[in-house]
Structure 1
Amino acid sequence: MKILVIDPKIAGISGDMLLASLIDLTGSFDVVEQLEDEINKLENCKRFKVEVKDEDVGISAKKLEIEIDESRLKHPKGLKKAVNSVVKNLDLSQKAVNVVNRVVDDLINVEAKLHKTNFHLHEIASLDTIFDVVGSVMVLDKNNFLEADIYSTPPVLGNGYIEMEHGKIACPAPATLEILSKHRFKYSNLPVNMELTTPTGVALLVNIVSSIVDFFPPMTPVKVGYGTGTKKVDGLINVLRVVEGEEFRAVSDKIVILETNVDDVSGEIIGYTINKLLNEGAVDVFVTQAIGKKNRPVNVISVITDYKNYERMVELLMNETGTIGVRIYELPRLVAERVKKKIEVEIQGKKYQVTIKISKVGRKIVNVKPEYEDLKRIAEDLRMPLRVVSKIVEEAIKD
């Protein structure tokens, strides 16, 4: 099973350091070009140019050099619109899109909480925030890390004072601390007179990581990547380290199942709740019909989620359905390692790219399945029944 370890206990984490380290790890330079092209199409962008360079900071690391000429975004709707405009033209999975939206929402919500009546976007208003967030998630998605276990060591925050739009304040930055508090995410520190972990870096970290660890988990290391930022820190190698590893097992970390019975909630509310839970990061949601107290028909809503998110899912479930109780089960689960690859399929003289998901336990392939969204796209384009398209693609996979 694939593992990714992010190691911000060395020198913290920022959005550009995470993206640079992932590029160094995976060699996904094409992500930079695609994303640069999409950002240059935005109305408020006059020029956006990115160069990935090798930098020797004691260790050879990748560094992003960005040239920006822009009109800064001032309102949350403008930032969300810009992010959606960029994302819709990229080949991202729905899971990746959801992660991007959660990161952006965290950054916007923390600005709203800190500035209240005088609220407008501050440090997150630049196009490089969009580049760092979407780019990092895109590399993770492209290399199947969003389907893997992602670990992080506690990020070091730094000390001293930082310059904000309204003046100086002691580290950590208020937005960084708010995001860590919201997600109950453990941090560490070093006696360095500088900000080491930024709001964008920590917003990405809390939304992609499965587990926080003080030490690297047992694994077979495969590749290592290093990314550096623009700051120079005396006596400290200013890098973010990411490590890809393999763990040959079929048991993942424990998962949480939430369950509640509702007998007075309409189908529309249940449907809306299911979609909202999935968009907020639930692994799966399903509804079972049953007979409850006084022989009344009830719907049992079950939510599968990871441990990190279960409290937020409980709150969402109670708010949306009005239920006054949620049962919580913590269980181990068996999972197969899953990787994705693209194949070309020709149907009625037209060629299509189809993503197939390959599930393995150890070195044994246990299932191969085409991506539903790709089959749907082909069926709609050719006006063919989905089952016919599915059969043709499955035959191509066998070949």
Structure 2
Amino acid sequence: MKALVFDPSIAGVSGDMVLSALVDLLGLEDQVYRVAEAVKGLEGCRIEVRVTEVRRAGLRAKRVEAEASGHLGGPAKLREALLKVGWKLGLSRRAQELALRILDDLVEAELSVHGSRDLELHELASPDTLLDIAGAVTLLETSGLLDAHIYTTPPALGGGRVNIGHGYVKGPAPATLELLRRHGLKYSQIGVDEELSTPTGVAILANIAEEVDLLPPLKVEGVGYGAGLRELPGIPNVLRVVKGVEAKALADRVAVLETNLDDVPGEVIGFLVDRLMEAGALDVVILQGLGKKGRPQFVVKALAKPEAYEEVLERLVEETGTLGVRVKMEPRVVLPREEVKVDVEVGGVSYEVRFKVSRGLKGELLNIKPEYEDVKRIALRERRPLREVAEEVKRRALSRLRDQQLP
């Protein structure tokens, strides 16, 4: 599967940085000029574009520079203008809808933080906003990457002072934070007193990408760098985008929570496992060991999905009274798996048994495991040991799966 990974954790993201990074990666400069011509055709708009190669802290990068003038009006007129640009470019319906979704998200964020539906949009209604949005979507569609898995790391926000139309506020811009809130995205900081991530840049990534903390495993095919407006002290002011192919196995992330306990009785530990699973843990492992001064202790390790780990963390602290929990996000690779139902005969009686089926990278059958509750039901009815029943139903099911090539 094709994949793109944007990395705004280096120096943030703006609309022109997204466009510049894609141009550097894909080499489709002619498409940028096509978009500029479409925007230029709107009434009252003037825009001139040039693509240059620059350096930021020693790194080579592309920079799409636009000189624009004109005001496209309120939200309805701005939306109409984007539709006209998309029509002139011949964008597909899917691409048009994506561009409108980005624009609507951006406008709603601005209106929300200002608390008014009659807000004058100022910079947002400039022709270069349409260039950034329509340009990014056009490049993705032209290159066939709209169907790719697209990821983004948490954007660096920075600081500085931001003009919000009626005055200045300490960065980041209120609309940037509102977009992060709406999409449940995290941000990062790098201690630079400049605005690094703009509302347009965040709106684009929030609508095309899934957030990850770590770069997913890829076979790298290309890397592009889009330059920001100015040099920054100590860091390259660039947005990096990586194009590649994902592993056939499912690349995933998991939160790992771990704590050591030397003053909790075994009964509590046994109860804890069930409570953590109820809170959303994917798995819980209890290890025994020796701690300082030779004290026996339990090491509790729980796995959880990144978006659910806080509930597991709260339950772990609540049930054990631990004073500290180690939390880290780790990549993991999960092989394809599925659940199938197979009719197997035991003791002359046919039973429907659920099996977890695991497959290799080429789809080959690796192993099957019968569902415990189904095996337990058969063992009780047949009055036979659970172990024997489990082995028998697995053997019979494997034979059927291989001979009949069931799913």
Q: TM-score, normalised by structure 2?
A: 0.60
* 1:5/1:243 contact within 8 Å kept: yes
* 1:107/1:199 contact within 8 Å kept: yes
SS at match of 1:242: strand
- Whole-Å separation in 2 of the counterparts to 1:81 and 1:247: 37
Residue 74 of structure 1: CA displacement? 2.8
* 1:76/1:120 contact within 8 Å kept: no
Residue 252 of structure 1: CA displacement? 7.9
Which aligned runs of 4 or more in structure 1 are off by greater than 6 angstroms? none
- Whole-Å separation in 1 of the counterparts to 2:22 and 2:67: 20
Q: Corresponding residue for 1:195?
A: 195
Q: Corresponding residue for 1:114?
A: 113
* 2:83/2:96 contact within 8 Å kept: no
SS at match of 2:248: coil
- Whole-Å separation in 2 of the counterparts to 1:114 and 1:215: 31
Percent sequence identity over aligned pairs? 44
Structure 1 residue 133 corresponds to structure 2 residue 133:
yes
Query: 1:149 corresponds to which letter in structure 2?
Result: H
Q: Corresponding residue for 1:75?
A: 74
Structure 1 residue 230 corresponds to structure 2 residue 233:
no
- Note the 1:1-399 alignment, pairs <5 A: 1-45=1-45, 47-57=46-56, 58-68=58-68, 70-117=69-116, 118-209=118-209, 211-249=210-248
SS at match of 2:120: coil
* 1:48/1:66 contact within 8 Å kept: yes
* 1:111/1:122 contact within 8 Å kept: no
Q: TM-score, normalised by structure 1?
A: 0.61
* 1:73/1:121 contact within 8 Å kept: no
Q: What per-residue deviation string (whole Å, max 9, x for no partner) do you get for residues 350-370 of structure 1?
A: xxxxxxxxxxxx99xxxxxxx
- Whole-Å separation in 2 of the counterparts to 1:333 and 1:132: 38
Give unpaired runs (5+ residues) of structure 1.
Answer: 255-306, 309-331, 335-361, 364-399
- Whole-Å separation in 2 of the counterparts to 1:251 and 1:154: 21
Query: 1:172 corresponds to which letter in structure 2?
Result: P
Q: Corresponding residue for 1:391?
A: none
* 1:111/1:120 contact within 8 Å kept: no
Query: 2:95 corresponds to which letter in structure 1?
Result: A
Q: What per-residue deviation string (whole Å, max 9, x for no partner) do you get for residues 279-300 of structure 1?
A: xxxxxxxxxxxxxxxxxxxxxx
Paired residue total: 260
- Whole-Å separation in 2 of the counterparts to 1:63 and 1:6: 16
- Whole-Å separation in 1 of the counterparts to 2:247 and 2:115: 49
Please report the RMSD computed on the Cα atoms of aligned residues, expressed in angstroms. 2.5
- Whole-Å separation in 1 of the counterparts to 2:244 and 2:107: 33
**In the superposition, relative to structure 1, how do residues 333 and 106 fare at CA in structure 2: closer, same or farther (>3 Å)?**
farther
Residue 170 of structure 1: CA displacement? 1.2
Residue 186 of structure 1: CA displacement? 1.3
SS at match of 1:95: helix
Give unpaired runs (5+ residues) of structure 2.
Answer: 254-305, 308-334, 338-360, 363-407
**In the superposition, relative to structure 1, how do residues 229 and 253 fare at CA in structure 2: closer, same or farther (>3 Å)?**
same
Structure of higher CA gyration radius: 2
* 1:160/1:195 contact within 8 Å kept: yes
SS at match of 1:88: helix
Query: 1:197 corresponds to which letter in structure 2?
Result: S
- Whole-Å separation in 2 of the counterparts to 1:123 and 1:42: 17
* 2:53/2:63 contact within 8 Å kept: yes
- Whole-Å separation in 2 of the counterparts to 1:189 and 1:170: 14
Residue 109 of structure 1: CA displacement? 1.0
Residue 333 of structure 1: CA displacement? 8.4
* 2:70/2:127 contact within 8 Å kept: no
- Whole-Å separation in 1 of the counterparts to 2:252 and 2:97: 22
* 1:112/1:120 contact within 8 Å kept: no
Query: 1:62 corresponds to which letter in structure 2?
Result: K
